[in-house]
Structure 1
């Protein structure tokens, strides 16, 4: 089923694009899903892909599943060439099954069974595609837990006994925004009309930028590989895929730069700061947004997007050799309490069941958050003046022994999202020390009193998170500086949980390590 020409006749093909953004119960986050939905449509009907408008069906902002499984069966009926399905929005799981959340899908876990009736069960999508006679079947899922659609039993690739084998030569390619049981991410920024979901953005950017040296047509396999490389290099979630027969050789678009020298995405990005996402369009709004027009969806569209992706850049950063500078152990004054209350939780629990209570908080000059002169200068040049710091002590024991875990937290603000992006790109992957903040007395003060005993990576965990105009940097260890085998994993869980429990209230939550926060 290998194509040799990217300009094909789509008269016997059908693409169905489903997107949801006006959620009633799920968290309202950003316009990223609407923008990605529109941009995918414009790509398909544009000159690179060349789909006729009448062969692309838009299902935008549908409130509940209703007769959508039936309509999918009808839409793919009679398709003999290419059948494509794309979804962007919330993803949910019920009984290990992927549900594509629609606008009335519930958020309350007590109503989780309703996910199957309000949302679009992925099994319905799979069956509609399996039942059709298309030679090539393509599924693109941009939602949390989408990787679950690429595991055996959930894909179009399936076992040899599946009904797809009745159509000789049938190929199928499923690509998902994240790994199984993981979450997908979206952009956040000051120009909401431009933000997109990361997977769709990188996928379409790859097609529109082209792949030098890859010939006249872009295959699904090459496009996915380049997209995945770019996402991983810039520290976004790793996408996944499943392939049946030779579907990866299907040409999805014309290559705009076939003859230029081949350069990998990692070569282009290596050694550079992560680019500021919304500066990609220096001359104003991108063409896909300027071309936005009233479109007839199956149900009326709305202008707001609520989306269950993680809108954060959150990664563990464990300095392999640099020690943490000892911090002055002082008590927060009343004048500092407002800022600390706004950016630090009073308590949180991690996935090991450990409960952590705040034991110390303060606001300090940004220069005190690190002992690195270079990083101090960087904070200053990017506009950071004061930071909120604190520490938390474990109230239960999850790593054995009699000493609790302690988590030190630094919430470092910048004047704008752009400034924080630049600072984050500078720090990530480097070997910079954070400051360890301890309470003035008690068990939690021990690590600060004996800094020489702290050995990164064997006794210490932490996280480095970027959200909106803030960087959140955590360091976690047991207060007796133990190197017992179970300490490191416990410290990592605590550090991640703290990173998601702190920062502005509207951006808290979302990590699998975080159970709750107050």
Structure 2
């Protein structure tokens, strides 16, 4: 197996690097001791690592291949699960240990402790040499063996893990075809503060798995060596002990986990559970068969570049949404560039105040807002004819350019002269004067937790993703794309936070309430639209390679949702504190229309939709059979400035629930 970026073409299902489907992991953690100080942060290590390693957007280890061993009582409780895991891991075996590590003056060996271990009694511990021997014995059956040791040697700290590596020779850690990562260097003490959720070393490892490497957004996978380098950098910034690594046969260079900071479309595979994969295949087959028999939606419907069914059309039986039109015109020559600026990366969408047009903010630099005409005069919103009519750079208050920018959320304030723009890089929410693009005033205040580490606990590339303001401007909502570090998922459904601000258009806004929102499996919160003071529309989207995008819009009722401002960590049992939501439209259920796709999609209509805007009322009836009281809803996809993706605009009619 060769090392390097996981970007080359390969056959579907072909494994590159460490294959989670053929691997296993043993997570051992000792927190409760009879004769040594307890380590209360160790269980948090096991919880987070178990969740992340089985998350297919991180690695995707099958849930039945990860074994947690909390508070083993005897040496056999440590070795037994390792023997069992060997039988399940022809590719990679990971053994993780967190607890007290001891050494004796007699032989200068490392001894792993169990709950009943006593200091200076090596017979009550497990010599690491025995673990090494077990791993050496299976070298012909297990291709890669990874050991992660978050432990000490001396255990002198009363409320932590004391460590000294003076007696730990490289030979002790050397196993052919293996990689060993240790928490400390020679003669240092590791940190395990009982007031923290994780031990220091494992906490940094968890952050890396959770957030990826934001400095390498071009890199899709991270190797163990790259993880070690990131650990060294982050621990050094905190003046904590430096970790060590021992690599045999180049295991450390192999692609390992997905880099969650990659700018490629997010891939939330939990949306595609085995049951849903089967359901999607059956639904597709039955649709094609029924369509062919009826003489429409013929089997070639789903092939790249074929003609699509006519629209408008309902988005599923009993749906409250109708697809009115869809257009890829902004991707076509003559429309994909305006005055030398590439029309790409459109991530936030907002309707212009009373003009019938719209604004779209570009992610990444150059920081720009495009002015769009959505349709021909008199045809809006039934027929799309999108084109760019203007472009405005976004500048700092002194007129200089932003060197780092990642525009995501966009709202036009009352009066139409200013807009609020959120940037994930910073992160920041800024007020922009639309006439010249200059920032007015200071950034809006953000909770400290909404910043990436070390200031906060948010993902560096999935933080302040969406903005929404109610019509009178008194309430502003800012939504996080992904959970904060430490906020638990619920079977793949992300528990994200929405900050509510109180203030006025063009004036000052202050945070006054934090609301929880739970996405569907594997999807992320991409955009918000305010319908009223306590009602939002929420756009959820995600991506899995080989199956494509998931795009859904929900109506959200904020009444009854708990105020989470002072809630440090969300847990699974907090589901009842989240805002209530109701499905409005699943884009996969809409008629495909006359669009093309070069990607694998369950419906060629689907793409990386990130922007959403709620439009005016639409007359009932007509060819589209629009229900009474419907409103226009516009969606736009972000092509990530990649030629293989599409800038696509959608127009729908939606019938909203009455408050």
TM-score normalised to the size of structure 2? 0.36
Of structures 1 and 2, the one scoring higher in RCO (CA 8 A, sep 6+) is: 1
Which of these two proteins has the greater Rg computed from alpha carbons? Answer: 2
Q: Between Structure 1 and Structure 2, which shows a larger proportion of strand residues? A: 2
* Greater share of residues in helix: 1
